[in-house]
Structure 1
């Protein structure tokens, strides 16, 4: 994939610092590949939704994005304070709306901390993890433009 290196945005995005690119390409049916830098992911739909269930859905990746961001921030906190990361886990569940438009209506994340984490560090770890980039973005949504290529 070309153009995956962060670039400075022009004046149309004055608050953003770097432009990151990825590309999504149709494979077959409801399956798509996502190229991010030198990495390739795949998405699909479950059988009951008409897909072939070869990969997570985009919505599951959305939830995974938040969960992995929380885990990353928690892990960095532990590392910064010389605490072990073994046993760190983030469990996530989300609920879908039953009305329109289709959307995630709630998410619950539970951080399983390493057993050696001192009690006095738990609140700080939670505060740090709760301010991960994805969580912040959900609280202050970006401007989103969807357009057709010329």
Structure 2
């Protein structure tokens, strides 16, 4: 997937890919207007959205009602001297009538999230100058 980023006014950025665009901004303390999420917020949001997608597909394939099904994520800094050392805590809330026999299976479905799997595989990064 190719993503092109354009610099917009202030601290806003536009990422364009396929037929989509995402606008980001920075907090006021970082010189932005806080009109859009920051890039890191989009990154963090992609994990629970991905997991929720797989949970919904799991339920749809079994005709299980999804009303009341939710997924939350909290990101905790583990070491104040290293702001990159994080713990990602994810919690699934099931509807009261969710079939008990599928409880472990829906957690397995959430764990198939592609975003999480790519992070766990430690992707390689390369930044190069193009003239």
RMSD: 1.7
Matched position secondary structure for 1:93? strand
| Deviation readout 1:120-140 (Å, 9 max, x if unpaired) | 211110012112111111110
Tell me which residue corresponds to 1:52. Answer: 33
Distance 1:115 1:40, change over 3 A: farther
* Structure 2 CA distance for aligned equivalents of residues 57 and 106 of structure 1: 20
Distance 1:38 1:115, change over 3 A: farther
Q: Give runs of aligned pairs for residues 1-150 of structure 1, distance below 5 A.
A: 20-96=1-77, 98-100=80-82, 102-103=83-84, 105-150=86-131
Higher relative contact order (CA 8 A, sep 6+): 2
CA contact (8 A) 1:94 1:104 kept: no
| Deviation readout 1:30-70 (Å, 9 max, x if unpaired) | 21011121111111111122211011111111110101111
Q: Once superposed, which parts of structure 1, at least 4 consecutive aligned residues long, lie more than 6 Å away? A: none
Aligned length: 130
* Structure 1 CA distance for aligned equivalents of residues 64 and 15 of structure 2: 35
* Runs of at least 5 residues in structure 2 that lack an aligned partner in the other structure: none
TM score, norm. by length of structure 2: 0.88
* Runs of at least 5 residues in structure 1 that lack an aligned partner in the other structure: 1-19
